[in-house]
Structure 1
């Protein structure tokens, strides 16, 4: 006989079971139970296998490994940057392993508990909770909170670049036709808007952090690196909002729309190719001065900084190459509508 658990117990089960398996699993648990206590026992028995099954279906192994490697590297670099005196030796890396483990495991669980109707989406509540817990445990084990905060921001930024709307929007993956050209043009402009919003949000957070450090400096010379970074990030903000900003899709015939979309894709491709000049170069002087003031002028520190800059550049080159393919499709469509 199927046991009918009280509503509070059902909600508890719904909270624990991933959405994709929730209805089926909870039904089986209720059928095999004859009391509330037995319901809890059966729920505890099936929970590990159900969660593991959801992880295998929704969390890509390559993505988990990449997330673990890139987040470990970036978190370590940011800790060394913000706490050069305290972050030394194997003990510091063992302490860093605590928030790093929270981050990696939390991301896996956020993927496993994502909406059942959206296989690629994560559970936003779990994701934000992961960020909060990672920062909290980092503070408890004596790590720099600013280092963890900025490090996670960079990790999230890299992840967003790799999953940016212009790469994974389904409409942009479809063959370009006269019928879907208006939709693709609008989707492309929305992708630009989201990219600029993300980059601007990160820049504003970093500006606030650098302004705090500059304000707390005892002498203006100690704040030179902070002020240079603020100036560099302010230039990046200006460029994003005024030179790389999205534009309104015009109304008109298909020829006007095709020419507009081509100009916009070409403009954004050239902006990505110029990343070293308007995005990286303005930040390098402040980074180098700040490293020098902290006494971090050793080869590992310089190589680490160069590695981060190289990664950002290569990701944008990859995106620019993708836009080149889009340009060829747009030109081919233009030939058919002449």
Structure 2
């Protein structure tokens, strides 16, 4: 019995259980629906912010509050645009002739990159507007009389904690997406 060294080498690696194409397609469909649902919630949040802060830009008494509110409105539009441009959901039907593994990997990479850069494209645009509103709140004599300084510091702490939590959660999901990308790479032997 003669052993072919090339065949022995090729079969010596770990055998990977390749999922059925239908399973890969089902996961791609589920991921599409999750991204679409997330984006709809984000767009709704942007609409809420635009409505609330547009009103504040006209009714708040101090000029810094008005400018900060207008900045927040602009930030909400920017975030919605970035989400649409960099993170819109692409239906698996759009893959056409592209192999489903390649399509799924492309979409995972796209969403991972969006989440990894969440600070620059989602959090940072709001910071100047929020800072101006908070500074304007400190300059408003009526607000200063009725809202103690410790409550204003607590509000700032809440904002920082919320942004930190959003960043952390998105990094966590980005790591999960990277694991799925690595699984596809291991199955396809690419990248």
| TM interval, short-chain normalised | 0.7 to 0.9
1:232 Cα shift?
0.8
Equivalent residue, structure 2, for 1:305: 159
Report the 3-state secondary structure (helix = DSSP H, G, I; strand = E; otherwise coil) of the residue aligned with 1:247: coil
Equivalent residue, structure 2, for 1:317: 171
1:221 Cα shift?
4.5
Q: What is the rounded CA distance, in whole Å, between the counterparts of 1:225 and 1:276 in structure 2?
A: 19
| Mapping for residues 1-338 of structure 1, pairs under 5 Å | 176-217=19-60, 220-249=63-92, 250-252=95-97, 256-295=99-138, 299-335=153-189
Q: What is the rounded CA distance, in whole Å, between the counterparts of 1:234 and 1:278 in structure 2?
A: 11
Select the structure that is richer in helix: 2
**How large is the Cα RMSD of the aligned pairs?**
2.2
1:219 Cα shift?
6.5
TM-score calculated relative to the size of structure 2: 0.75
Post-superposition CA distance 1:1-31 (Å, at most 9, x none): xxxxxxxxxxxxxxxxxxxxxxxxxxxxxxx
1:248 Cα shift?
2.9
TM-score calculated relative to the size of structure 1: 0.44
Stretches of structure 1 that go unaligned for 5 or more consecutive residues are 1-174
Call closer, same or farther: CA 1:176–1:236 in 2, change over 3 Å: farther
1:247 Cα shift?
1.4
Report the 3-state secondary structure (helix = DSSP H, G, I; strand = E; otherwise coil) of the residue aligned with 2:125: coil
1:198 Cα shift?
0.3
Call closer, same or farther: CA 1:315–1:222 in 2, change over 3 Å: closer
Matched residue count: 160
Q: What is the rounded CA distance, in whole Å, between the counterparts of 1:290 and 1:219 in structure 2?
A: 9
Stretches of structure 2 that go unaligned for 5 or more consecutive residues are 1-17, 139-148
1:218 Cα shift?
5.1
**Contact residue 225 and residue 290 of structure 1 kept, 8 A:** yes
